[in-house]
Structure 1
Amino acid sequence: MNEKQSIVVIVGRPNVGKSTLFNRIIGHREAIVDDQPGVTRDSKYRKAEWNGKSFLVVDTGGFFGPEEDPLTAVVQHQIEITARNASLLLFLLDAKAGPTPTDHEILDFLRRLHIPILVVANKTDNPKCEAEWIAPFYELGVEKIFPISAIQGLGIGDLLDVVADHLPESEIIDSAIDIPGVAILGRPNVGKSTLLNSLCGEERAIVSPIAGTTRDPVDTEIVVDDQHYLLIDTAGIRRRGKMSQGLDRYSLVRAEEALKRCHIALLMIDGSQGLTESDAKVFGLAKDAGKAALILVNKWDTVEKDEKTSGAFAKLIREQMPFLKFAPIEFVSALTKQRLHRIFPKVKQILVQYHHRVPTAELNRLLEEILTRQPPPIHKGRAPRIYYWTQAAVAPPTFVIFSNEPKAIHFSYERYLINRLYETFGFEGTPIRLIFKKRGKAKS
């Protein structure tokens, strides 16, 4: 993240429309929006631009949520950390509800931070009632109130004009720079947010022992050895059959969308609990999306072990998840930071492999050797021949194979070809895709 970049933080009590305003400013749906108070738990950072000023806009979890929600104190602490780093605060109010004691309490807290504050009255969707709705809020002791309707877009341009006026000239950001996306994936409570915080060196994602704490993906840009990475802490994924609330369905969608934006997935396993069916299902999402992968066995500090324990656990992973045999395994502790220093060097190596293109001459030499030693076997009376192959794409490495009888090539021979590609060219941490064609027609 650019340290000189301005940060605009949206704060307010639950259900005043913070996520709707956030989505309106960045121009598309990002944060989970729901009528249930307190839906947004983590702070979400996105880049925005207005009148030539670029800045980060931050959507925070609701202040002072329901007392029965044990996360409330944790969320308050995180918002305080976020707000103290802000260039400008947007204090959002519900115009139709009128000022509440909680609004007074939040504003008192924000004033103690000595950061510029714009007071914004949301849900003023009827201009005729606008003056009547916002008048009571002057009891908060503010000079100016900005009426908006985030859901309809009313007043947003005027508000952003004032926001831009409060911000210094920003540096030009090269949007063409492709920052590798690193998604942190795993079932609930495996330690994803703890890992994110340990890697970032700050408390960015909420950490709590309650499963399902992180609902939205949380993006954090970090720099390691002069290389930028975008870390994406995905919501904990549960099995579809276990989803009893709409929010869980939202979280699964957000995680799947996070996978679309990433290059590599850090696949986390709880070493203290062993492998579960949910682990395989979650990791299958990354495999199906064609993403590079690094398996992290977390909480290894809590496991009673000897010199054979890690080897036995790794063997179990290979046996129960053979579709991830290309992914290296690291045994770590996100909490104590044990072996975390190994993650980014390994990620960097894997990303090189993920984008590696094999020269055609080397591919041809390998194919000649393969066909000499082990040509495709006859299948159902048909004798398939392979004429040549070529690498059609990277990320993931994708090879197109031309044959007279592509449908007659058995899946075991496809597996053999993939294994030979791994043995010869490495491709550690990345899946390999094969596409069989006959005269330009893809194998069905």
Structure 2
Amino acid sequence: MLPVVAIIGRPNVGKSTLVNRLAGGRDAIVHDQPGVTRDRTYRPGFWQDREFQVVDTGGLVFDDDTEFLPYIREQALAALTEASVAIFVVDGQAGPTDADQEIASWLRQQSVPVMIAVNKCESPELGGALAAQFWELGLGEPYPVSGIHGNGTGDLLDVVIAHLPETTPADARDEIRVAIVGRPNVGKSSLLNAFVGESRAIVSPISGTTRDAIDMQVRRGEQIYRLVDTAGIRKKKSVDYGPEFFGINRAFKAIRRADVVLLVIDAVDGATEQDQKLAGRIADEGRACVLVVNKWDAVEKDSHTVYTYDRQLLGRLYFVEWAERVYVSALTGQRVPKILDLIDQAVMQHRRRVSTSVVNEVLAEATGWHTPPTTRQGRQGRIYYGTQVSSRPPTIALFVNDPKLFGDNYRRYIERQFRQNLGFEGTPLRLLWRGKKVRDMERASANRATKV
């Protein structure tokens, strides 16, 4: 695992802006409002020949125990516990405050080296004078930086990497990326904590607790999983521009980047209209999917409950009827380990390739049992052959005389035959119906290329 650099400071001093600068991206949500960052969020960083993880934490406030502030302090302490070095971010424009003094006193009690980054020093001429005010914090030399423009961050990183141990990072190509998505308060953060075995994400009954995408690595045997907890996704009309808007955009980005999406459903509420929309988005993005029905321990059950619930679930989430389903309790840990097995299976099917001969054997049997439809004018659809053209998701091109001759019912029948004979559990399967004109054009193009 990569060494950790923890970013600490009071609210609105520009911690997330500096994280984006140090990590070379714009993944951390930046908004002019206190309390946007709550959980600790990890971003990959690189300087000279060293790789590390930058951990953004929420703004520290010690004299207030309302709402999320105690949880934020808990997450900041957890970040310091695993960090090789901490960067204490202060506001150069505001100068040292009582809150800065309180945080500095707390940091002196921790067993981690601390660097002071005096942010908002956009002017190189004035930066030194602004930074000099912070010698009084008693944590060593303050470094003037600008998270917005990048001034001074190189000098800061030169000092930071001197405290980092040398490591050999795991090969990121072998990671399975898993996005955990769902409506607010369905238990996504509880599920992440159950995987990791620690309080990695803040769990609260207050809707909208998680605002940014929180990622964590989990290893099982030789396989590494990168789990990404995302903000709860509400109806678009209910979302105002601000932290929640940015968090939901991060969630959609996590879906696009994922190998597998865990769509978490509240067992008590059942599948809602918003869950349907999320299922449709997952299918449209071509992502593998596992349906995780959480809070199963809160449902009164008899011998028929799971079967009845399963039918109702598939009836509403028909967009992902191919997804495997698991009924869990993140609170008790019931069947949580089984989710990783289903993730492995979904990834394997999502990346699977089938030979052209096997594809055409399935087509021959399917058309033998149920011939393509015939129009009133006597025109009948014909499938000449099929071949898999890509994976992630598996995509099969079917070359036919005229795609218009194949209605939705017959297209669904062909897809069912592929699934019944070849599997593809847990992944969408795309069929491309290509007409004779398209096929002739492709052949002519190939012939021209061969002559050249």
- What is the alpha-carbon distance in structure 2 between the residues aligned to residue 304 and residue 13 of structure 1? 46
Q: Is the counterpart of residue 62 in structure 1 residue 59 in structure 2?
A: yes
Q: 1:15 to 1:380 in 2, by over 3 A?
A: farther
C-alpha contact 1:383 1:405 (8 A) present in aligned 2: no
Which amino acid counterpart does residue 217 of structure 1 have in structure 2?
A
Preserved contact between residue 261 and residue 290 of structure 2 (Cα < 8 Å) = yes
Look up the equivalent residue of 1:188 and give its one-letter code.
P
Q: Which runs of 5+ in 1 are unaligned?
A: none
Map Cα deviations across residues 45-73 of structure 1 (whole Å, 9 max, x no partner): 12222111111111111112895950111
- Find the aligned partners of 1:57 and 1:130 in 2 and give their Cα distance: 24
- Is 1:418 equivalent to 2:415 in the alignment? yes
SS at match of 1:9: strand
What 5-or-longer segments of structure 2 have no aligned partner?
Answer: 440-452
Match of 1:30 among 20, 23, 27: 27
372, 378, 394: which one aligns with 1:376: 372
Of 373, 387, 391 in structure 2, the residue corresponding to residue 390 of structure 1 is 387
Q: Is contact 2:258-2:287 (8 Å) kept?
A: yes
Secondary structure in 1 matching 2:139? coil
Q: Find out whether 1:124 has 2:125 as its counterpart.
A: no
2:31/2:242 contact within 8 Å kept: no
Aligned residue for 2:256, secondary structure, equals helix
User: Which of residues 240, 245, 258 in structure 2 aligns to 1:262?
Assistant: 258
Give the alignment's TM-score, normalised by structure 1: 0.95
Could you give the per-residue CA deviations for residues 403-435 of structure 1, whole angstroms, max 9, x where no partner exists? 110133211111111111110011111111111
1:11 lines up with 2:40 in the alignment:
no
TM-score (norm 2): 0.93
Instruction: Give the 3-state SS of the residue equivalent to 1:280 in structure 2.
Output: helix
Q: Which residue of 2 aligns with 1:198?
A: 194
Q: Which residue identity does 2:156 align to in structure 1?
A: L
1:316 corresponds to which letter in structure 2? Answer: Q
Alignment of 1:171-250 (within 5 A): 171=168, 173-175=170-172, 177-250=173-246
Percent identity at matched positions? 43
Distance (whole Å) between structure 2 residues aligned to residue 297 and residue 243 of structure 1: 25
C-alpha distance after superposition, 1:369-423 (max 9, x if no partner): 1222212212474432111111111111111111110133211111111111110
Q: Secondary structure at the match of 1:180?
A: strand
2:106 to 98, 106, 109: 109
Correspondence 1:409 to 2:388: no
2-structure distance, mates of 1:125, 1:106? 24
Q: Distance in 1 between matches of 2:97 and 2:436?
A: 71
Aligned 8 A contact 1:186 1:283 in 2: no
In terms of mean alpha carbon deviation, does 162-171 or 8-17 score higher? 162-171
- CA RMSD, 1 decimal: 1.7
Q: CA deviation at 1:309?
A: 1.0
- Pick closer, same or farther for the CA change 1:31–1:380 going to 2, 3 Å: farther
Q: CA deviation at 1:274?
A: 2.0
Structure 2 residue matching 1:99: 3-state secondary structure? coil
Shift of 1:102: 0.9
Structure 2: how far apart are the matches of 1:380 and 1:24?
66
- State the distance in 2 between where 1:440 and 1:71 align: 62
For residues 347-366 of structure 1, give each alpha carbon's deviation from its aligned partner in whole angstroms, at most 9, with x where no partner exists: 11221111111122111111
Name 2:300's counterpart in structure 1.
Answer: 304
C-alpha separation in 2, matches of 1:66 and 1:383: 77
Matching residue's letter, 1:243 = V
SS at match of 2:86: strand
Q: Which residue in 2 is equivalent to 1:99?
A: 96
Q: Does 1:86 align with 2:83?
A: yes
In the alignment, the residues of structure 1 paired with residue 275 and residue 244 of structure 2 have an alpha-carbon distance, to the nearest angstrom, of 17
Q: How many residues align?
A: 438
- Write the distance in 1 (CA, Å) between the matches of 2:63 and 2:210: 17
Q: Which amino acid aligns with 1:148?
A: V
Does the alignment pair 1:316 with 2:312? Answer: yes
